[in-house]
Structure 1
Amino acid sequence: MDDVLVAEGLVKSYGGVRALDGVDLRLRGGEVHALVGENGAGKSTLVRIVSGALAADEGEVAVTRGTRIAVVSQELSLFPDLSVRENLFPDRPPRTRLGLLDRPAMDRAARPVLAELGLDVDLGARLGELPLADQQLTEIARALLLDPRLLILDEPTSALPAAAVDRLERVLRTLTGRGIAVLYVTHFLTEVMRFARRVTVLRDGRVALPGARRADVDVPELVTAMLGGRPEPAVRRTRSAVDLPPQVVLSGVCVPGRLADVTFTVLAGEVVGVAGLQGAGHLAALEVVCGRTAVSAGRVDVGGRGRPRSLRDAVRAGLALVPSDRKRYGLMLDRTVWENATAVSWLALGRGGVAPSRAELVRRTADLTERLRLRGGPYDPVARLSGGNQQKVVFAKWLATEPRIVVLDDPTRGVDIGVRAEMHTIIGELASGGAAVLLASTDLAELTEVCDRVLVFVRGRVVGEVRGERLTEHALAVAMQQGVSMG
């Protein structure tokens, strides 16, 4: 098939950060072309430029004459309270001479497309009542009604069950059979090997693997292209040979649609990582441990007090939670450092007595901020601190509780390399002091640097564990993609 789109030398910068640096991309009709790369590699920027939503600073995008481009994004842009029919024709729907919606004309146009996708639904049904897989296919149908020659699918299976992925594979065969070019953006490398004819890998805004034939690469090679030659950590924290008692126990835990028969234990003095692609279930496991998500089956024990019914219940069992979104869930931005640092231990749990004095709370806060080397005093407003120092305040709040269990969700996201190293030192000190640490991170290097072992989740199950000398970024990424144990 002929080229449908050719992009050459694309450059895009945001402030002083270069998101794309001389990227080329060639898409052919009748092919699925996969686009992969780590978070921040430049995939979203590239998609926005080739779809016409964003202008490049340099470079050119050429499409064949008459080519229509349709985009199906990861976040569905549908209207759940409207009918399927109304969602299929959101702009300029067919109308009668009186200006009313021409439903018969809409149905005549929609039914062949729905049949092609294998989607048998009532066009008058409320969209929000359909299963997620059918909603996803409805969005694809809406895109196809534009009669595109290029269809961009951005993470189309991130929240779909395996059966729906099989269905999508059949849809892709139908589309490419019609000569449509499909740009398939995904984190799932197994889907690349299953669906795509060609694959382009981005790394740090540049092309690391240009349009390779799927038959010429395997998953480990794609992982290497995504990660590059990053050095592995030379030193990893060493644990005592004596295992301490378990602090977190999950056995046969099920959460409908999210977790299936999950079993693992975290010992005192141990740093255990949980890893997976988006929607894999590792974050759902953290929610269970923190009392934020109820289970339908299985046993949960946190701190020897059984399953926590709420976050407050988990905190009373000795748990501390450092969330990924510190501004929404970790801090009171309109309060001072001392008010944030004392919010849980002394004010919520009453560790400072019935009525601790402000002077005492400020003194204890000063001790914590000195330990964390925080640049800011107890009376400084948290909103005025840098991102790294705000994260230190979150740590201070929970360190004050002297936790036995510490749950960390992307604890160093958005901080500089110096603060990151300091946070890792604190995590190691917590574990050395006997705390059980459970860590989720989108940064594979972080997991390999601070964890004793990492549990790998795929589609709601623990499918493997990476530990010891085998705990490297490359081995972990391969395990996440292939669902295999690496040691």
Structure 2
Amino acid sequence: MAHDDILVAEELVKSYGGVRALDGASIRLRGGEVHALVGENGAGKSTLVRILSGTLGADGGTVRAAKDARIAVVSQELSLFPDLTVRENLFPQHPPLRLGLLDRGAMDRAARPVLAELGLDVDPRTELGELPLADQQLTEIARALLRRPKLLILDEPTSALPAAAVDRLERVLRTLTDRGIAVLYVTHFLDEVMRFAQRVTVLRDGLVALAGVERAEVDVPELVSAMLGGRPEQPPRRARSLAADRPPPVVLSQVDVDGRLTDVTFTVRAGEVVGVAGLQGAGHLDALAVVCGRTTVSGGRVDVGGRGLPRSLRDAVRAGVAFVPSDRKRYGLMVDRTVWENTTAVSWLALGRGGIAPARSELVRRTAELTERLRLRGGPYDLVARLSGGNQQKVVFAKWLATEPKIVVLDDPTRGVDVGVRAEMHRIVGELAAGGAAVLIASTDLAELTEVCDRVLVFVRGRVTEEVRGERLTEHGLAVAMQRPEVAASD
């Protein structure tokens, strides 16, 4: 049964430069309840959490908390020290002292009832790094509870946890609310909202789309609709002409990756654009890593480019794979080098095309052809660091187009670029498929998947649960499919 209000925030406004992250958002958190906060990436959830926790000031609005309402936050990225003991992690600041020395007995006496309450049966002297991830997460929750909070904010607490650990977290939440603690549960997993929460608030573009509704009054499709709003759906795509007479360039059959993929089976044919979609940690990015030779397979069969399982990214490149990563500056570019040095790095240095020592003029000429094709604003001799983000992304594309790939793997290829560059990237994807390449694409933007893909494979907890195509290939259709916990589909 719910208690009194612990925290009430009204009409919160926050802008970053010219972008308004929150535009009059309100939320009411009550003791003894789990209140879920959901929304797409960029909806304003992180900004709201930072304001509620006091680490960020609002530009407008009010936050009123109950007297002595201590607030603790358990972030998605654990802030623990794996080389220290559980005890040392529980008391990182202001540990109990006796005669000027650490009072380990007092620390253990304070910690043991909290650990027991969470069902965490560990010796406080155990080194944290020896514990499984689920126990490390509970250790962080225990550290927060030692502060005796009235409001506990859990930010994506299950994104990296196995199903058994999620079950245990449900019991922990029940324990917390029985103590009268208010829990703000920030998550992408709507099935967990329906399972754990008493109320739910949906943010969309900095606005509250649903305000503290009773969980029993909504279902998953209604939550998805609130998250997406009334954006027009893309019309069904026309099927491309596929090379059905040739073996598919990408084949995964009953593939397992320990702890990440289970019994994953799919193919991608030449001339086809296939999307992979899922919530964080669902396994779709691990499937891309298998194709690129960037992860170890523990079972099943993989054939990439007719050469079997690639053992490394270099092996995959030799099989005809091009990989455009989401983090272009960290993995895709040498920002302190020129455009021509970047665009020829793989085709010349890795594949040896053009001989041992091709003339610079020839490499520059090839670069000029690619930059013209991609409409890149910058010349071959320009430093990549001086280009705009969109043009840097075009350089990444140019580098891989120079390899004349058979298989193109794209991870969030238009992240951080403007609408014009996005449209050009989509044009290039279409040209690659029309030229006979097999294209695999992951994107955090569901609209992008509906615009460029012939079909989308949906992953849930390491399995392919559904294949979405035709009239069902819409943002709403994908978002709903990504939330379904059951395994319901095949290749």
Contact 2:242 2:272 in 1 (8 A): no
Contact 2:334 2:384 in 1 (8 A): yes
Q: Displacement of 1:241 after TM fit? A: 6.0
SS of residue in 2 equivalent to 1:60: strand
> Matched residues, percent identical?
83
Residue by residue, what CA displacement relative to the aligned partner does 1:403-443 show, whole Å, maximum 9, x if unpaired?
00000000000000000000001001101111000101100
Residue by residue, what CA displacement relative to the aligned partner does 1:280-319 show, whole Å, maximum 9, x if unpaired?
1111111111011111111111000000111000000011
Equivalent in the alignment of 2:371 = 369
Measure, in 1, the Cα distance between the counterparts of 2:457 and 2:278: 9
Residue by residue, what CA displacement relative to the aligned partner does 1:130-189 show, whole Å, maximum 9, x if unpaired?
010000000000000101110000000000000000000001011101110000000000
Equivalent in the alignment of 2:36 = 34
- After superposition, residues 174-193 of structure 1 pair within 5 angstroms as 174-193=175-194
CA gap of 1:265–1:358, structure 2 versus 1, over 3 A, is same
Equivalent in the alignment of 1:51 = 53
Root-mean-square deviation (CA), in Å?
1.2
Q: Displacement of 1:354 after TM fit? A: 2.8
- After superposition, residues 256-405 of structure 1 pair within 5 angstroms as 256-405=258-407
CA gap of 1:126–1:263, structure 2 versus 1, over 3 A, is same
Measure, in 1, the Cα distance between the counterparts of 2:440 and 2:242: 19
Aligned partner letter, 1:328: R
Aligned partner letter, 2:389: G
Aligned partner letter, 1:77: S
Equivalent in the alignment of 1:114 = 115
1:255 aligns to 2:257 (yes or no): yes
SS of residue in 2 equivalent to 1:482: coil
Residue by residue, what CA displacement relative to the aligned partner does 1:429-485 show, whole Å, maximum 9, x if unpaired?
101111000101100001111011111111111111101111000010000001465
Deviates more, 1:26-35 or 1:459-468: 459-468
Among 466, 469, 479, the residue aligned to 1:467: 469
Contact 2:158 2:166 in 1 (8 A): yes
Measure, in 1, the Cα distance between the counterparts of 2:350 and 2:190: 45
Aligned residues: 486
SS of residue in 2 equivalent to 1:33: strand
Aligned partner letter, 1:184: Y
Aligned partner letter, 1:279: G
Equivalent in the alignment of 1:212 = 213
Measure, in 2, the Cα distance between the counterparts of 1:483 and 1:451: 23
Measure, in 1, the Cα distance between the counterparts of 2:489 and 2:29: 36
Contact 1:11 1:57 in 2 (8 A): yes
Measure, in 2, the Cα distance between the counterparts of 1:80 and 1:306: 38
Equivalent in the alignment of 1:481 = 483
Equivalent in the alignment of 2:240 = 239
Measure, in 1, the Cα distance between the counterparts of 2:201 and 2:162: 26
Measure, in 2, the Cα distance between the counterparts of 1:237 and 1:424: 15
Aligned partner letter, 2:296: A
Measure, in 2, the Cα distance between the counterparts of 1:318 and 1:437: 12
SS of residue in 2 equivalent to 1:424: helix
Contact 1:151 1:183 in 2 (8 A): yes
Equivalent in the alignment of 2:125 = 124
Contact 2:242 2:271 in 1 (8 A): no
Among 397, 421, 424, the residue aligned to 1:422: 424
Equivalent in the alignment of 2:144 = 143
Contact 1:300 1:306 in 2 (8 A): yes
Contact 2:268 2:439 in 1 (8 A): yes
Equivalent in the alignment of 2:460 = 458
Measure, in 1, the Cα distance between the counterparts of 2:126 and 2:118: 18
Aligned partner letter, 2:466: G
Residue by residue, what CA displacement relative to the aligned partner does 1:191-219 show, whole Å, maximum 9, x if unpaired?
00000000000001110111111000000
Measure, in 1, the Cα distance between the counterparts of 2:398 and 2:237: 24
SS of residue in 1 equivalent to 2:279: coil
Contact 1:479 1:486 in 2 (8 A): no
Measure, in 2, the Cα distance between the counterparts of 1:360 and 1:40: 44
Measure, in 2, the Cα distance between the counterparts of 1:263 and 1:486: 10
Residue by residue, what CA displacement relative to the aligned partner does 1:55-101 show, whole Å, maximum 9, x if unpaired?
101011000111110000000001111110111111111110x2111
Measure, in 1, the Cα distance between the counterparts of 2:417 and 2:81: 36
Residue by residue, what CA displacement relative to the aligned partner does 1:11-45 show, whole Å, maximum 9, x if unpaired?
00111111000011100110000000001100000
Equivalent in the alignment of 1:200 = 201
Aligned partner letter, 2:375: R
CA gap of 1:235–1:190, structure 2 versus 1, over 3 A, is closer
Among 56, 62, 78, the residue aligned to 1:60: 62
Measure, in 2, the Cα distance between the counterparts of 1:365 and 1:241: 30
SS of residue in 2 equivalent to 1:119: coil
Among 73, 85, 88, the residue aligned to 1:86: 88
Measure, in 2, the Cα distance between the counterparts of 1:230 and 1:419: 21
Contact 1:251 1:300 in 2 (8 A): yes
Contact 2:228 2:476 in 1 (8 A): yes
TM-score of the two chains, using structure 2 as the length reference: 0.97
Contact 1:324 1:409 in 2 (8 A): yes
CA gap of 1:219–1:233, structure 2 versus 1, over 3 A, is same
Equivalent in the alignment of 2:24 = 22
Q: Displacement of 1:347 after TM fit? A: 2.9
Contact 2:236 2:470 in 1 (8 A): no
Measure, in 2, the Cα distance between the counterparts of 1:242 and 1:100: 73
Q: Displacement of 1:355 after TM fit? A: 2.0
Measure, in 1, the Cα distance between the counterparts of 2:394 and 2:96: 57
TM-score of the two chains, using structure 1 as the length reference: 0.98
Q: Which runs of no fewer than 5 residues in structure 1 stay unpaired? A: none
SS of residue in 2 equivalent to 1:211: strand
Contact 1:71 1:153 in 2 (8 A): yes
Equivalent in the alignment of 2:105 = 104
SS of residue in 2 equivalent to 1:398: helix
Equivalent in the alignment of 2:134 = 133
